[in-house]
């Protein structure tokens, strides 16, 4: 018996030693830009009531679900720069600052100690790769608008993968090329435009830069607009995973993937486009989840957001019962519809009300599947005449677009038919969700501050601290 107890004790010591030395080897950090709980809830309602799925959307199936506080150093409502800095460095900072503490000193991102520990690093987004959130994982700037300064850190980062439709630093203020892509090539990065072009690379390529062939401004393009040949969050994630696993199979890897289009659609108060973007984001998460199923003891997936945009809610004054089945009749984003309206005005002619009604019926379902009252029709016709004919209505300025006034009124009616409400076209101070699965996911169970997330990720990786 004494010998048996001795053997058991030795086994326990060995198990404790194994546990103490164990670490998360593969880390996925998904950030849905602007993705509040209202966005997630509306998408899940669409998934359940319209698509008929008995299981919730993937991230809502993860065993850990909590909420995150997002305030910045000096504001109750953060911007993406301060939030991205908190999520990457564990430091609160002032709105507008990237990778810097509130006193303007540069602070270390979690990518630095992970890289030093041998992890292969990947940074990716569906919007500009040197925008506030992705930029905070490798760059430093007192103002997020200094994209040239931020992107200049990428060539010397030593990261294995960057993926985004564009980098703002690719062009100067006058629109001319800056030579940034050439500097990435000189640093050893092979440039690819698709997963297939990545697959054609030689096996010894240790650094990859993925860019879009046809970026839509500074983003990949909205899912709802069905743009041929565009990059997607799924394709970017699949390419990043292939490269990072090749480079980090032995020592591990870290991938931050941002779903930036969610924020853009939320600033536009475009409910159907938000739902499509969150669903698209789920496809990217699914790439990681399938990897996790093959490596369950070595993989951690964390999904969160930098802030809530728009205060999106399912439930709206004047709409008794939300009807998200009508979402399927919308085939154009508010941004593209506004651009269409502006193109008609720029053409110099007078667009007709009947042709506009036909266009809207075909692309949004209005006057078709989406029934309008006589009062709603009269309201839209008055708006059409003021904005498109007499041109007395001023455009509405948004963060990423200036919207033709008629398009604003059209989409307000559309949102009301869905039963989707908005509190603002900007950010809110609402907490955001966090979902986690995999090794050490239980570290994230309590209500968190955004600065705690990178600390906990490093703890899971067996790294004590990264304050510098």
How do residues 379-421 score in pLDDT, each as one tens digit?
999 999 999 998 888 888 877 888 999 999 999 999 999 999 9
Regarding whether 375 and 229 lie in a shared domain, the answer is no
**Which residue range is the domain that position 337 belongs to?**
316-421
pLDDT in tens, 370-380: 999 999 999 99
Any domain includes 7 = no
Any domain includes 210 = yes
Nearest to 110 by CA among 300, 357, 316: 300
Regarding whether 140 and 282 lie in a shared domain, the answer is yes
Regarding whether 201 and 290 lie in a shared domain, the answer is yes
pLDDT of residue 467: 56
Regarding whether 283 and 409 lie in a shared domain, the answer is no
The CA distance from 88 to 172, in Å, is 27
Q: What is the DSSP letter of 99?
A: S
Any domain includes 308 = yes
Query: What is the average pLDDT across 87-91?
Result: 97
pLDDT of residue 10: 35
Q: What is the mean pLDDT of the chain?
A: 93
Chain mean position to CA 287: 15
Regarding whether 177 and 321 lie in a shared domain, the answer is no
Under 8 Å CB-to-CB from 330, ≥6 apart: which residues?
224, 272, 273, 363, 364, 365, 414
Q: What is the CATH number of the domain that holds 107?
A: 3.40.720.10
Percent of the chain clearing pLDDT 90 (strictly above)? 87
Regarding whether 321 and 213 lie in a shared domain, the answer is no
Regarding whether 401 and 282 lie in a shared domain, the answer is no
Any domain includes 45 = yes
Any domain includes 334 = yes
Q: What is the CATH number of the domain that holds 400?
A: 1.10.60.40
Specify the number of domains making up the chain: 2
Q: Residue 232 pLDDT more than 60?
A: yes
Which pair of tokens denotes residue 238?
């699949």
Any domain includes 1 = no
Regarding whether 327 and 196 lie in a shared domain, the answer is no
In this prediction, residue 468 has a pLDDT band, given cuts at 50, 70 and 90, of low
In this prediction, residue 173 has a pLDDT band, given cuts at 50, 70 and 90, of confident
Between these two residues, 277 and 7, which has the higher pLDDT value? 277
Regarding whether 168 and 45 lie in a shared domain, the answer is yes
In this prediction, residue 287 has a pLDDT band, given cuts at 50, 70 and 90, of very high
Any domain includes 467 = no
Q: Residue 13 pLDDT more than 90?
A: no
Regarding whether 401 and 278 lie in a shared domain, the answer is no
Indicate the pTM of the whole model: 0.93
Any domain includes 299 = yes
In this prediction, residue 466 has a pLDDT band, given cuts at 50, 70 and 90, of low
Q: Residue 7 pLDDT more than 50?
A: no
- Exposure letters 80-109 (e unless 16+ CB within 10 A, then b): bbbbbbbbbbbbbbbbbbbbbbbeeeebbb
pLDDT of residue 318: 87
Regarding whether 144 and 60 lie in a shared domain, the answer is yes
Regarding whether 282 and 367 lie in a shared domain, the answer is no
């Amino acid at each position: 018996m004494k010998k048996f107890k001795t053997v058991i004790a030795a086994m326990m010591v060995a198990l404790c030693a194994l546990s103490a030395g164990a670490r998360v080897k593969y880390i996925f950090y998904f950030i849905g830009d602007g993705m509040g709980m209202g966005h997630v809830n509306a998408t899940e309602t669409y998934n359940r009531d319209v698509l008929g799925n008995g299981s919730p959307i993937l991230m809502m199936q993860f065993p850990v679900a909590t909420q995150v506080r997002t305030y910045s150093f000096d504001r109750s409502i953060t911007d993406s720069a301060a939030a991205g800095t908190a999520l990457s460095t564990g430091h609160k900072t002032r709105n507008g600052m990237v990778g810097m503490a509130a006193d303007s000193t540069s602070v270390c991102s979690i990518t630095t100690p992970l890289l030093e520990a041998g992890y292969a690093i990947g940074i990716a987004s569906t919007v500009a790769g040197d925008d506030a959130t992705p930029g905070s994982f490798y760059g430093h700037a007192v103002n997020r608008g200094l994209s040239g300064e931020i992107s200049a850190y990428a060539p010397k980062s030593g990261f294995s993968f960057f993926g985004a439709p564009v980098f703002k630093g690719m062009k100067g203020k006058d629109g001319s090329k800056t030579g940034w892509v050439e500097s990435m090539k000189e640093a050893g990065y092979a440039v690819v435009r698709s997963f297939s072009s990545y697959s054609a690379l030689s096996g010894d390529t240790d650094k990859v830069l993925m860019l879009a062939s046809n970026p839509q401004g500074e983003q990949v393009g909205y899912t709802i607009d069905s743009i041929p040949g565009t990059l997607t969050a799924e394709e970017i994630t699949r390419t990043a995973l292939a490269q990072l696993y090749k480079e980090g199979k032995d020592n591990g890897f870290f991938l931050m993937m941002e779903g930036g289009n969610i924020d853009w659609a939320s600033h536009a108060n475009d409910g159907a486009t938000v739902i499509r973007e969150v669903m698209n984001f789920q496809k990217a998460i699914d790439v990681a989840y399938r990897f996790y199923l093959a490596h369950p003891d070595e993989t951690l997936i964390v999904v969160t957001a930098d802030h809530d945009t728009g205060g999106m809610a399912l439930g709206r004054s004047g709409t008794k019962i939300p009807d998200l089945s009508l979402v399927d009749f919308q085939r154009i984003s508010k941004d593209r519809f506004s651009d269409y309206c502006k193109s008609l005005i720029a053409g110099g002619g007078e667009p007709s009300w009947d042709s506009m009604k036909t266009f809207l019926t075909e692309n949004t379902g209005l006057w078709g599947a989406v029934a309008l009252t006589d009062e709603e029709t009269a309201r839209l016709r008055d708006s059409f005449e003021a904005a498109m004919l007499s041109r007395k209505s001023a455009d509405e300025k948004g963060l990423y677009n200036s919207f033709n006034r008629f398009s604003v009124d059209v989409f307000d009616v559309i949102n009301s038919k869905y039963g989707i409400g908005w509190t603002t076209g900007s950010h809110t101070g609402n907490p955001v969700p966090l979902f986690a699965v995999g090794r050490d996911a239980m570290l994230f169970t309590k209500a968190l501050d955004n600065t705690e997330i990178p600390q906990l990720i490093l703890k899971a990786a067996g790294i004590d601290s990264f304050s510098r």
